[in-house]
Amino acid sequence: MPLPRVLPGFYSTRLATVFVVLVCLLLLFIDSMRSWEAKERRLSEAEMSTSNMTWSLAQHAEATLKEVDSILIGLVERVGVDGAEPPAIDRLRGFLSSRVASVAQLHSLSVFDRYGRLLVDSQTSISAPRYGADQEYFIHHRDHVDTGPYIGVPIKSKTAGGWIITLSRTIKLKDGSFGGVALANIDIRHFQQFYDSFDIGRNGMIYFALDKGIVLARRPLRNDSVGKDISNAPAFREYIAHSKSGTILIRSSQDEVERIVSYRHLDGYPMYVAAALSKEEVLAPWLADTYLHSAGVLVLASVLGVLGSRLVAQLRLRIRAERDALEARVTLEKLNQTLEKLALQDSLTRLANRRQFDIVIEDELNRAKRNRGSLALILIDVDHFKQYNDIYGHQAGDACLRQIGNTLKSFERRSGDLAARYGGEEFTVILSDTDRAGATIVARNVCQAVRNLGIAHSASPGRSVTISIGVSAFDVVERDDTADALIENADQAMYMAKAAGRDQVRLFIEA
């Protein structure tokens, strides 16, 4: 008996419910998408802002260093040409003083001879001897042949008391030998003043550091900021040390603030700048806007939900009687279907029973006759099953049959295939569109699959449950071929397998 048609009122309530839910969900989805896009746009703008900021910082640092470096280049050439005699030194002192006075970022200029003795300084006379032979910059130039600029770690100025960055170059004598060092001290406050002009929020940061991770300047400036080694920080170790520029999102291990960080290495100098904005501060306006929009959308969705639920309730009241009758009819129909299914199913293994097997094999045989197709059957018997029941009991025997049934079920690969319990410990599998060779392969796979179950059986030669399989097939089903012949051939082949020692497959071949 077919299922009764569902009453129109049923569809009406469902449709109304779905419509109300979809409208509410659509409102929430649109608002969520708008919020998500606004968030991504905000983050993208912040990334661009930090990238532009680092570009400005790098340009400023490069311009600052190049201006000072050009002075050092002129100073090196002047010392190399004029030498270090007293008249030349006196003229050089005036040159140094005028340059320091004209360049805002310069703190001082100095020249040291090849032994590290101070020859001239922009700030003092040489009345008191000063030596630089033990300084990092002097040792570098003395021990390296390159004549490029060298930037040392920041040091505290003894005269001004503030932090300075040293930029130095090698002085070569006329014969090409090491003649000393020209040194420029750059006031870090020059960078700090520039960094203060940027809006980085409460938790933003600006870094100016050497490529090896020594901080030269920082905003906000702390007591331990300048000279600090940050080479082990995750951002430096994983990103800054390996690429010229980039933008990353990273959480600080010190204050747990997640920041958008852009960095850029300087051209021609072993230094980099980095700017960071707090992700929370960047998204704060977006979050406030999202709260406002979401509240409005939730109120609107709630109103729609209430009105929709009242409409659905009214529709349900109108069709309650029809629905109750419909449910009773559907329940009865389901019960009939269940009874029909049980009539065609083996209660122990949940496989098809003998009745369903008889119906399906006739249907498949007729179909194969119409299409001149092939049809195969494998018949299976559990080896030494009586002994298994005697040793382990009937409950264990039932469990064994269920496991084998589950295994056979997995071999129903095509729509016409059917695994069935034939009776007792015998099973069968109908294989549609399968010839002898294919059926033999399937049978061997079934035999191996049962072995793989590893069901213990002390009375079996292999100490586990095995099966014997007979295979029969019509490679091309003829008009006079019958299901009985196919079953009988498979049965003969199965007994041949048992006679040959069990746990094997035998194919029926006509004499």
Angle value at C-alpha 166, between 165 and 169, nearest 5 degrees: 150
pLDDT at residue 503 is higher than 90: yes
* Whether 264 and 398 share a structural domain: no
pLDDT at position 468: 96
Please, which pLDDT band fits residue 4 given cuts at 50, 70 and 90? very low
pLDDT at position 126: 47
Q: Is residue 349 part of a domain?
A: no
* Whether 296 and 405 share a structural domain: no
For tokens 């008191």, what's the residue? 128
Cα separation, 342 vs 353, whole angstroms: 9
Domain C-terminal end among 296, 311, 343: 343
pLDDT at position 469: 97
Query: Distance between terminal CA atoms of the chain?
Result: 49
Cα separation, 283 vs 22, whole angstroms: 30
* Whether 370 and 468 share a structural domain: yes
DSSP 505: E
Please report which helix (H) or strand (E) contains residue 72, including its range.
Answer: helix 8-82
Q: Is residue 84 part of a domain?
A: yes
Pairing of strands 205-210, 271-278: antiparallel
Write the pLDDT tens digit of every residue in 284-328.
888 888 888 778 878 877 877 777 777 777 767 776 756 666 776
398-434 b/e (C-beta count within 10 Å ≥ 16 → b): eebbeebbebbeebbeeebbbbbbbeebbbbbbbbbb
Calculate mean pLDDT across residues 458-474.
Answer: 94
* Whether 295 and 429 share a structural domain: no
* Whether 426 and 471 share a structural domain: yes
Please report which helix (H) or strand (E) contains residue 316, including its range.
Answer: helix 279-343
* Whether 40 and 157 share a structural domain: yes
* Whether 496 and 404 share a structural domain: yes
pLDDT at residue 2 is higher than 50: no
What DSSP string describes 189-230? Answer: HHHHHHHTTS---SS-EEEEEETTSBEEEEES--TTTTT-B-
Q: Output the domain CATH number for residue 472.
A: 3.30.70.270
Cα separation, 233 vs 235, whole angstroms: 6
3-class SS of residue 251: strand
Cα separation, 113 vs 141, whole angstroms: 12
Cα separation, 437 vs 435, whole angstroms: 6
Please, which pLDDT band fits residue 487 given cuts at 50, 70 and 90? very high
Which domain covers residue 500, as residue numbers? 354-507
Other beta carbons within 10 Å of 318: 12
Write the pLDDT tens digit of every residue in 180-216.
899 999 988 889 899 999 999 999 999 899 999 899 9
HEC string for 7-38: CHHHHHHHHHHHHHHHHHHHHHHHHHHHHHHH
3-class SS of residue 444: helix
Other beta carbons within 10 Å of 112: 27
Positive/negative CA dihedral, 230, 233, 237, 239: negative
pLDDT at position 11: 59
Contact 169, 142 (CB under 8 A): no
Give percent helix, percent strand, percent coil of the chain, each to the nearest 5: 50, 20, 30
pLDDT at residue 86 is higher than 90: no
* Whether 378 and 322 share a structural domain: no
Q: Output the domain CATH number for residue 1.
A: 3.30.450.20
The catalytically annotated residue of 425, 478, 488, 510 is: 425
Please report which helix (H) or strand (E) contains residue 98, including its range.
Answer: helix 86-102
* Whether 150 and 17 share a structural domain: yes
Write the pLDDT tens digit of every residue in 414-441.
888 999 999 899 999 999 999 999 999 9
**Catalytic: 425?**
yes
Q: Is residue 348 part of a domain?
A: no
Cα separation, 445 vs 466, whole angstroms: 13
* Whether 448 and 421 share a structural domain: yes
Residue 74 token pair: 């002129």
Q: Is residue 464 part of a domain?
A: yes
- Number of domains, the chain: 2
* Whether 16 and 104 share a structural domain: yes
* Whether 67 and 170 share a structural domain: yes
pLDDT at residue 10 is higher than 60: no
Calculate mean pLDDT across residues 375-394.
Answer: 95
Instruction: Specify the pTM.
Output: 0.55
Contact 468, 443 (CB under 8 A): no
Other beta carbons within 10 Å of 150: 21
Name residues whose C-beta falls within 8 Å of residue 290's C-beta, 6 or more positions apart in sequence. Answer: 35, 38, 39
The residue type of 39 is K
